Amino acid sequence: MNADSLGLYVHIPFCASRCRYCGFVSNIYDHDFADRYLEALRMELNAQPLTERRFSTIFIGGGTPSSLSVRQLESLLKMLPLGWAKEVSIEANPESATEEKLRLFSDNGVTRVSIGVQTFSHFGVKLLGRPHDPVTAQRRVAAAAARGFHSVNMDLIAGWPGQTASMLLADLAIAVDSGTTHLSCYELMRLPGSELTRALKAKAIPPQSDREARKFWDVTERFLGDHGFGHYEISNYSPPGFECRHNVNAWKGGEYIGVGVAAHSHLLGARYWNVSDAAEYVRRITSGDSPVEGSETLEADEKARETAVFWLRLSAGIDAAEFGERTGICLEHLYYKELPYLLGAGGLEWRIQAGRRFLRLTKQSYPVADAVLIDMV
Ligand SMILES: C[S@@+](CC[C@H](N)C(=O)[O-])C[C@H]1O[C@@H](n2cnc3c(N)ncnc32)[C@H](O)[C@@H]1O
Ligand code: SF4
C-alpha cells in the first residue's frame, strides 16, 4: 500500500428524487435513515485495517452528498481524515448546494466541488427528470466558483433524445463562462432499469439522431480546446493542473479504499465491493458483520491488462516505463499479439516525449475507444 497515492472513496446513497436516466445506487433522502447510515460509515472507516489512515485523495460521491443536512455534512467531514489529503472532492447537486453547505465545504478542507448539472436546457432537465431548474444550476455553480475552491467541476450529459449540437454548444458556453475549472461530459448511457431506457425501448420517446450525435464529439473538443480545456481523459476536460487526481490514480491502476454501500476497493492486488442495498449495509455493519459482498484477485497478467485498459482512457497514454514499474510486466510483451494489429489499424500509436515512450489511443479512435479497448482486455 502506498499512502502517497492511496485514495478513499465515500459513497452517499441519497438523492432528492430519482432522475429518469440514472442506474446508480441511490435512495430518496430520509433524515433518520441518513443518520443511521452515517453512523455505519463511521464504524466501517474505523474498522479499516490501516495503521495510519492517510489518504492522498478523498472523493465523496453519490448519489448526492449535498442532499444531507448541514449537521450531517458536518459530522461526515469530521469523521474523515481530511488533513493528509492533497485533494478532497465532493459531489453536489444544484437543488441542495446551498451557500451554507458550500461555505461548510470550503471551511472544512474540501478542495474540489463537483456539481451535477447535466444540461442548462429547460427541455433537457425536464426530459432527464432532474430535480432543479437551469437558473438555479447556473447560480449554484457561480456561487461555488466564487468560494475559492481549488477546482469546480461540472458534469454534463450529451446525447439525450432531442439534443442538438447547438444545444450542447450552449451548455458548454455557459459552463465555461460560469468559472468551472473541470468538465466531465458523459455520453448518455442507456442504463438497465432506468425509466428513460424503458421509454426508449418502448419507443415512447424518439432516440437521439445519429447524424446529430456524430457532431457532438468534435463540437465539445473544439470548443473546450479553444477555451484552454485539455481533453485529458475520454470524458474529462480541464486546463493543465486541474485534472481530478483521485480519478487519475484509479485510471492508472492505483489503490483506493471505498466505504459505504456498493463501494468498491482496490488494495494490495485485490478488488472487493460492498453490498448494494443500503438497509442491508447498515444492518451488517451495526451487527458486526462484514459489508463486503464479493472479491476477486486477478493473476498478474490479467491485472496488468486491466490496468492498461483503464490507463489508456487518459489521453497522455501509458508511460511504458512507469507501467513496467507499477505492474512488473513489460507492456510490449503483454500485448505482443495485439499491438501490431492495433497500431496498424490506427487505433493506437506510440508517442515519444522527453525520451519516454507512451502508448495512447489515436485522436480518431477516441469516439470508438470501447471497440479498441475490448481487444486489450
Ligand atoms: C452518479 S452521478 C452523482 C452526481 C449527482 N448525483 C448528479 O446527479 O449530478 C455522477 C454523474 O454520472 C453521470 N450519469 C449518471 N447517469 C448517467 C447516464 N445514464 N449516462 C451518462 N451519464 C450518467 C451524470 O453526469 C452524473 O452527474
Ligand atoms: S443522476 Fe445523480 S441525482 Fe439523479 S438519481 Fe442518479 S445519483 Fe441521484
* b/e burial code for range 62-85 (CB count within 10 A of at least 16 → b): bbbbbbbeeebbebbbebbebeeb
The C-alpha cell of 285 is what?
455493519
Q: 320-327 and 300-311 are packed helices; what angle lies between their axes, rounded to 10 degrees?
A: 140
Specify the residue for cell string 472507516. Answer: 45
Q: Rounded to the nearest whole angstrom, what is the distance from the C-alpha of residue 368 to the centroid of ligand 2?
A: 26
Output the CATH code of domain 7-250. Answer: 3.80.30.20
Q: Cα–chain-centroid distance for residue 122?
A: 25
Does ligand 2 have an atom closer than 6 angstroms to the CB of 116?
yes
State yes or no: pLDDT of 1 exceeds 80.
no
Are 253 and 307 in contact by the 8 Å Cβ rule? The answer is: yes
Q: Rounded to the nearest whole angstrom, what is the distance from the C-alpha of residue 174 to the centroid of ligand 2?
A: 22
Atom of ligand 2 nearest to the CA of 63: 7
* b/e burial code for range 229-258 (CB count within 10 A of at least 16 → b): bbbbbbbbbbeeebbbbbbbbbbbbbbbbb
Enumerate the H helices of the chain as residue ranges. 31-46, 70-79, 99-107, 122-128, 134-146, 165-177, 195-201, 210-226, 245-251, 278-286, 300-311, 320-327, 331-334, 338-344, 369-373
- Domain range annotation of the chain: 7-250, 300-376
Counting ligands in written order, the one closest to the CA of 194 is: 1
Pocket of ligand 1 (CB under 6 A): 15, 21-22, 24, 62-64, 91, 93, 116, 118, 155, 157, 186, 188-189, 191
Residue nearest atom 1 of ligand 2, based on CA coordinates:
22
Does ligand 2 have an atom closer than 6 angstroms to the CB of 93?
yes
> Is cis: bond before 317, omega within 30 of 0?
no
Does ligand 2 have an atom closer than 6 angstroms to the CB of 186?
no
Does ligand 2 have an atom closer than 6 angstroms to the CB of 62?
yes
Identify the pLDDT of residue 269: 84
Identify the pLDDT of residue 360: 97
Q: Rounded to the nearest whole angstrom, what is the distance from the C-alpha of residue 116 to the centroid of ligand 1?
A: 7
Are 3 and 249 in contact by the 8 Å Cβ rule? The answer is: no
- For residue range 263-274, list pLDDT tens digits in order: 999 998 899 999
User: Which of the four pLDDT bands, split at 50, 70 and 90, describes residue 375?
Assistant: confident
Counting ligands in written order, the one closest to the CA of 236 is: 1
| pLDDT, mean over the chain | 94
* pTM confidence score: 0.95
Identify the pLDDT of residue 25: 78
Output the CATH code of domain 300-376. Answer: 1.10.10.10
- For residue range 59-71, list pLDDT tens digits in order: 999 999 999 999 9
Q: What percentage of the chain reaches a pLDDT higher than 70?
A: 98
Identify the pLDDT of residue 2: 55
State yes or no: pLDDT of 190 exceeds 70.
yes
Atom of ligand 1 nearest to the CA of 21: 19
User: Which of the four pLDDT bands, split at 50, 70 and 90, describes residue 210?
Assistant: confident
User: Which of the four pLDDT bands, split at 50, 70 and 90, describes residue 192?
Assistant: confident
Identify the pLDDT of residue 368: 85
State yes or no: pLDDT of 367 exceeds 90.
no
Atom of ligand 2 nearest to the CA of 118: 1
Rounded average pLDDT over 156-181: 95
Does ligand 2 have an atom closer than 6 angstroms to the CB of 121?
no
Give CA separation, 299 vs 97, 274, 308, 309, in Å.
43, 22, 14, 16
Specify the residue for cell string 468551472. Answer: 180
Counting ligands in written order, the one closest to the CA of 94 is: 1
